[in-house]
Amino acid sequence: MQTFSTKSHFKTLDFIFLSIIGSQLFLFFTFLFITNKSEFTNDYFTGNELKVIAILINSAVILSTKLSQRYFTKSILPENLLKEKINTFRLLSIIRLALLESGNIINLVFYLMTGDSIFLLIFGALFILQFAYRPLPKLMIREFNLPLEKINEIL
């Protein structure tokens, strides 16, 4: 019989988090290099339509992140086992990170298409927001309002 280890779950989540951050940084520096060293940008996309699309997409990403958080935190009942709570937190964390990563990749592609630095600013804001949602035990305790006896089991 396998024992349930909370530390291994949080280590796996931290590895996923660091992989997502690393891939975004790799894309950021690659696209920055491409746009600075070549004339890859297209004049067709110099209007404001991509900025409006970026605002809509990023607003939807942030709203979806908050809605998924609300949905999953309401689905947790006080009588649920710790294992169920950790599995729910794990699913919530992966969904949040995937949503924020998709918004950031779209921002980087828009930057690659236009060379407009406003997309890098939006990328930076979402990038920093990902650190607020880093899947740590403290975040789980805060979001699920865990009692003291559960906190000692996690830490």
Whether 12 is in a domain gets the answer no
Whether 74 is in a domain gets the answer yes
Give how many domains the chain has, as a whole number: 1
Whether 66 is in a domain gets the answer yes
User: Quick check: 146 and 81 in contact, CB under 8 A?
Assistant: no
Tokens encoding 51 = 């900025």
Whether 31 is in a domain gets the answer no
Of the two residues 43 and 88, the one the predictor is more confident about is 88
Whether 32 is in a domain gets the answer no
Q: Is the pLDDT of residue 37 over 80?
A: no
Whether 8 is in a domain gets the answer no
What's the predicted TM-score (pTM) here?
A: 0.85
Give the 3-state secondary structure of residue 146: coil
Of the two residues 148 and 4, the one the predictor is more confident about is 148
Domain containing residue 87: 48-154
Separation CA 140–CA 92 (nearest Å) = 10
Tokens encoding 10 = 């949080």
Whether 10 is in a domain gets the answer no
Whether 39 is in a domain gets the answer no
pLDDT one-digit tens code per residue, 77-113: 777 788 888 889 999 999 999 999 999 999 999 998 8
